[in-house]
Amino acid sequence: MTLTAFPARGFLAATGLLCLLAPPLHGNGFPPTATRTAYVEHMASETAEARPIKEAMATLVTNKRGAVMRLRTSELEPGHVTTAWWVIINAPWACTSSPCSAEDVIGRAEQVRTQIVYADGTVNKSDGTAEFSANLQSGRIPQGWFDQGFDSPETAEIHLVLNDHGPLIPEIAASMLTSYRGGCSDESLPPPFPARAKTDGIAGPNTCVLIQDAIFKPARKVRN
């Protein structure tokens, strides 16, 4: 999701219900319809274009029951907390660009049927690397940012977005690892984001910054 109109800061709300860490990509009764890989990239900003990160990759498996993701990346700040987020665009054909832009995902959330929800969180390793994995079931997502479900994993556009929460603050570590706002100042949260995002987690002195993403176009197009 390329952020050109909105500041590259902050992101998303938590869902303890649907985050199942480190599931096998082809196990546990989850036969894949489509398995795809995508480069992880530094997100575009007002001053820089998106840039792929060497040897950083994400894998996504989808079928009608949901999606499973794994993401490995580098060039992160050692010791910072990073959270990963599902950005689901249920109606990508309604976006004004392909892939869908932040203006579509946030600014036209109702038209493109956006849902955004927590996936995983970790403390970056000393070499600036991190790994994330999560499972998202299709259907209702009551803890997401918007009043949308995960309608059709096979026809949705899916972005995996990483949010930097700044250095770990031990007293609020759990909040930083599992929420959008955890550890971050309210001033660092982008104005266009919904209220659910801005009240999710314990605020702190750090600055939330959207830093990396991986983008997956639909596995199957909707036939007109």
pLDDT of residue 13: 28
84-135 residue pLDDT tens: 999 999 999 999 999 999 999 999 999 999 999 999 999 999 999 999 999 9
Complete domains list, the chain, with CATH: 34-216 (2.60.40)
69-72: list long-range contacts, CB under 8 Å, 24+ apart. Answer: 69/119, 69/132, 69/133, 69/134, 69/135, 69/136, 69/158, 69/160, 70/25, 70/131, 70/132, 70/133, 71/40, 71/131, 71/132, 71/133, 71/160, 71/162, 71/214, 72/40, 72/129, 72/130, 72/131, 72/132
pLDDT value of residue 6: 30
* Percent of the chain's residues with pLDDT above 90: 77
pLDDT digits (tens, 9 = 90+) for 16-62: 223 332 344 444 455 567 899 999 999 987 778 889 999 999 999 99
Bridge partners of residue 167, in order along the sequence = 80
Q: Cα–Cα distances in Å, from 146 out to 13, 100, 132, 139, 166?
A: 9, 17, 23, 13, 26
Q: Mean pLDDT throughout 205-219?
A: 95
